[in-house]
Amino acid sequence: MESVITVHNLSKNFGGTKAVKNLSFDVYKGEIFGIIGPNGAGKTTTLEILEGISDPSEGAVEVLGLVPNKQLRELNKRIGVQFQATSIQKKMKVKEALDLFSSFYDNATKKDHFIELLGLNEKLNVKFDDLSGGWKQRVTLALATLHEPEILFLDEPSMGLDPSARREMWSLIRLLRDRGSTIVVTTHYMEEAEQLCDRVAMIYSGQLKALNSPRELLNEGAANCLTFISEGLAPEYLSSLPGVERVEKNQDEFKVFCDDQQTTAYHIFSYCQEKGIRLSSFRFEKGSLDDLFIQYLEKEKIG
């Protein structure tokens, strides 16, 4: 696979604080690559270094064979960036913003095509401030892609969107990937990473904790879990069972993360039968990417 981004031992310091610590990864042409983690993990800082906005303190970064902070003018012709916050004037109409941004690029000749592609026709004469969050994100996505960039950087593209708008955004991102752009996206929504990304770099406190496809990460590291409903079962009993890593309780709903589902289920059934405790909606499940990330956080606290 062709690497379009190479990061080697990247670190970034802000005074005495090390926001990014020795990150190393590659991004391959044509993939949707996620940089995931909680707020404050170093995701945006990493993205800004890749975009050439910020200088690395240590390490080496190449994007499309260019050093971002030293060859920014050339890089900007080949990448698109959607920031968390936009500086579009509130009273500017969508069409005016598209016309303005099109004038920045010599090869932005397909504006009307992108208007159609991203479904913006009905909003062209609407002022930016009057758009919903989902439509604002759609417009800024269009502005970032007018010149058909080889790499598109998206910083928390679905933050603040409702579930329906979030899924529409995922569809648009996939569409742009299918048209030839490599996508690098930051998100703290683990479901988004699981559904959208081909591979993810999971970071916490500026450090790389895992790197692989969501499916492989789950196969390699996610704990199995049992889910069920019970009124009289004590979480303390479940936590005491051999091989149980974590117990989550939400009212009468339980999630028990364990090494061996069959053995743990046998213990639970036997105990509930002996004590006359009712169980319902019992299921054997695999942990999600969200669950896996919590596992990493728990290990971090223990360490």
Return the SS3 of 214. Answer: helix
In a domain, 16, yes or no: yes
Cβ atoms of residues 133 and 85 within 8 Å = no
Is the pLDDT at 165 greater than 60? The verdict is yes
Query: Does an H or E element contain 244, and which?
Result: strand 244-250
In a domain, 61, yes or no: yes
Q: Are residues 73 and 84 in the same domain?
A: no
The whole-angstrom separation of Cα 199 and Cα 193 is 8
Q: Are residues 210 and 74 in the same domain?
A: yes
Q: Are residues 69 and 184 in the same domain?
A: yes
Q: What is the mean pLDDT of residues 275-300?
A: 82
Q: Are residues 205 and 276 in the same domain?
A: no
Q: Are residues 57 and 195 in the same domain?
A: yes
Tell me which DSSP letter residue 127 carries: B
Which has the higher per-residue pLDDT, 220 or 71? 71
Is the pLDDT at 301 greater than 70? The verdict is no
Q: How many CB atoms lie within 10 A of CB 77?
A: 13
Q: What is the mean pLDDT of residues 163-171?
A: 90
The whole-angstrom separation of Cα 144 and Cα 25 is 24
Q: Are residues 100 and 236 in the same domain?
A: no
Number of domains in the chain: 3
Q: Are residues 70 and 85 in the same domain?
A: no
In a domain, 175, yes or no: no
In a domain, 202, yes or no: yes
pLDDT grade for 302, boundaries at 50, 70 and 90: very low
In a domain, 294, yes or no: no
- Rounded to the nearest integer, the mean pLDDT of the chain is 90
CATH code, domain carrying 57: 3.40.50.300
| Residue 246 structural domain | 224-286
Which has the higher per-residue pLDDT, 153 or 300? 153
In a domain, 43, yes or no: yes
Identity of residue 228 = F
Q: What's residue 111's pLDDT?
A: 79
Q: What confidence tens digit (pLDDT) does each residue in 104-119 have?
A: 877 655 778 888 888 8
The whole-angstrom separation of Cα 114 and Cα 101 is 13
In a domain, 229, yes or no: yes
Q: Are residues 40 and 96 in the same domain?
A: no
Q: Are residues 30 and 18 in the same domain?
A: yes
CATH code, domain carrying 272: 3.30.70
Q: Are residues 87 and 2 in the same domain?
A: no
Q: Are residues 47 and 139 in the same domain?
A: no
Q: Are residues 208 and 105 in the same domain?
A: no
In a domain, 39, yes or no: yes
Q: What is the mean pLDDT of residues 148-174?
A: 91
Cβ atoms of residues 82 and 152 within 8 Å = yes
Cβ atoms of residues 264 and 226 within 8 Å = yes
